[in-house]
Amino acid sequence: MRDSATQHHAVGARVDPRLVRAHVGRPVDPVVSGSPSVVPTQSSPAAESIVLGAKAVGTNKFGTAEATVEAYLTARLGKADDSHLGKVCELDTGTPYGRQLGYSSVYLFFESAPKGTKTSPRKLSGWLAQTDAPLPDGFMLDESLPLKTTYADLKKAFPGSKLDEIPLGESAFYVFTTPSGIWYRGEDDTTPDQVGAGPMRTCE
């Protein structure tokens, strides 16, 4: 599936397309952290804002049918800026069939069961936001999390979590997973360029 999350015109620096769906392991059970080391970059949530959460997008939990989520988003935000459909990994015959909807710098992912086809039912599986652009109107992160940050600040805010280096061919990328399960990742070990939730996958 073509990865518009790394090619969208609103995105600045190009990110390796393979990073967009790279699996990093199981999500961690949610806990609350009140550390002041990471200062949120957003104002208090408006009643109409769609919260990008560790296991949901707004009122839609991961696993909600694609049609239900798309109708919810369209009613709140209008039609998505772009949409792409295809195998999550063309090199893997057992891969799910996926679709992604893009709203500026935010992307919503839907997947079928393994070995799915174009007509297979798909469910909400995750989301991703680029950290080098403001969230589009209508979206927000949990108030306790920033959009733009550094791994050093994340380690101070969540001392029980750690930065993982994930090999990817001859290179690597870096992932920091918060206690709630929301992850930050990037191509160097200093500053993440994406934040998201749900499974990540590699295709190489």
pTM of model > 0.85: no
Q: Nearest 5°: CA angle at 76, between 78 and 179?
A: 115
SS3 category, 102: strand
Give every residue of the chain whose pLDDT is below 70, as ranges: 1-47, 201-204
Q: Are 25 and 176 in contact (CB under 8 A)?
A: no
The pLDDT value recorded for residue 198 is 95
The pLDDT value recorded for residue 201 is 67
SS3 category, 98: strand
Q: What is the mean pLDDT of the chain?
A: 80
**Residue 200 phi, psi dihedral angles, 5° rounding:** -115, 150
How remote is the C-alpha of 77 from its chain's centroid?
18
SS3 category, 34: coil
Q: Which phi-psi region, left, alpha or beta, contains residue 166 (left: φ > 0; alpha: ψ -120 to 50)?
A: beta
SS3 category, 69: helix
The pLDDT value recorded for residue 26 is 32
Give the model confidence (pLDDT) of 99-108 as tens digits: 999 999 999 9
Q: Which residue in the block uniquely carries the two structure tokens 């920091």? A: 176
